[in-house]
């Protein structure tokens, strides 16, 4: 099953609880939580307190994407009963295997994100340990960017690696995903789709979610 994870980075923060309720009613599967520190990426978003404020307002699991330096210092802050994934960037982790094991030791699934220019070869000695790999299809830091087409080939290569070395691995994509390209990325092998501005910044949020689900064969 293809899962849709709308990114609250693009939501209306004055009505965040209402925005999350809308995507849940429409059938979204996860809440994608983009955390930025202004160092690893050139933008600052929000921290664990904002995510935790949604606990009790939704039953959707949290899909946490840490775009921060030294993520090990903050992992525990994002562990809740609703946290399904915590994803760290390969580029930000000096000891990636240790970070993956740290995440899993807290009962949360571990994801590894790769920037557009980062090769899949950087996962040669950790792909068996990861629960998910997030392919960035824009350079991280800002919402609303244009999709980088080379991500498609990276997803296809990752799907091959998955089948050879870790069949349980999930493939996620984040950046520039819209109704025009979502079917292309899922056909390539993506199983979790992150969409931000194309869900929250394009009119009727619930209709947008339903249209994404229809494009991926969900409804």
Is 17 assigned to a binding site? no
Is 129 assigned to a binding site? no
Is 89 assigned to a binding site? no
3-class secondary structure, 80: coil
Is 38 assigned to a binding site? no
Is 217 assigned to a binding site? no
Give 145's contacts (C-beta < 8 A, 6+ positions apart).
138, 139, 175, 176
Give catalytic residue positions: 34, 174
Is 175 assigned to a binding site? yes
User: Concatenated DSSP letters for 31-63?
Assistant: EEEEEEBSSSSS-B---HHHHHTTBTTB-SPEE
Q: How many other CB atoms are there within 10 angstroms of residue 115's CB atom?
A: 18
Is 176 assigned to a binding site? yes
In 3D space, the residue among 206, 193, 198, 196 whose CA is nearest the CA of residue 178 turns out to be: 198
Q: Are 105 and 144 in contact (CB under 8 A)?
A: no
Q: Are 84 and 63 in contact (CB under 8 A)?
A: yes
Q: Are 143 and 177 in contact (CB under 8 A)?
A: no
Is 197 assigned to a binding site? yes
Is 56 assigned to a binding site? no
The whole-angstrom separation of Cα 66 and Cα 64 is 6
Binding residues for substrate: 7, 65, 141-144, 174-176, 196-197
Binding residues for a divalent metal cation: 32, 34, 65, 174
Binding residues: 7, 32, 34, 65, 141-144, 174-176, 196-197
């Amino acid at each position: 099953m293809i899962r849709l994870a709308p990114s609250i980075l693009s939501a209306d923060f004055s009505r965040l609880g209402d925005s999350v309720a809308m995507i849940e009613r429409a059938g979204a599967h996860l809440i994608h939580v983009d955390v930025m520190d202004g160092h690893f990426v050139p933008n600052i978003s929000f921290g664990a307190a904002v995510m935790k404020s949604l606990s009790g307002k939704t039953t959707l699991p949290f899909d946490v994407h840490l775009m921060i330096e030294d993520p090990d210092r903050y992992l525990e802050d994002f562990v809740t009963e609703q946290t399904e994934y915590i994803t760290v960037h390969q580029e930000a982790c000096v000891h990636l295997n240790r970070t993956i094991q740290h995440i899993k030791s807290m009962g949360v699934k571990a994801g590894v994100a790769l920037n557009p220019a980062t090769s899949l070869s950087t996962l040669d000695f950790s792909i068996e340990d990861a629960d998910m790999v997030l392919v960035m299809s824009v350079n991280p830091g800002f919402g609303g960017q244009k999709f980088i087409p080379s991500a498609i080939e990276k997803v296809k290569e990752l799907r091959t690696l998955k089948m050879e070395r870790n069949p349980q691995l999930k493939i996620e994509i984040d950046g520039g995903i819209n109704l025009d390209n979502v079917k292309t990325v899922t056909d390539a092998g993506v199983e979790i789709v992150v969409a931000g501005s194309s869900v929250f910044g394009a009119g009727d949020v619930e209709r947008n979610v339903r249209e994404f689900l229809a494009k991926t064969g969900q409804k």
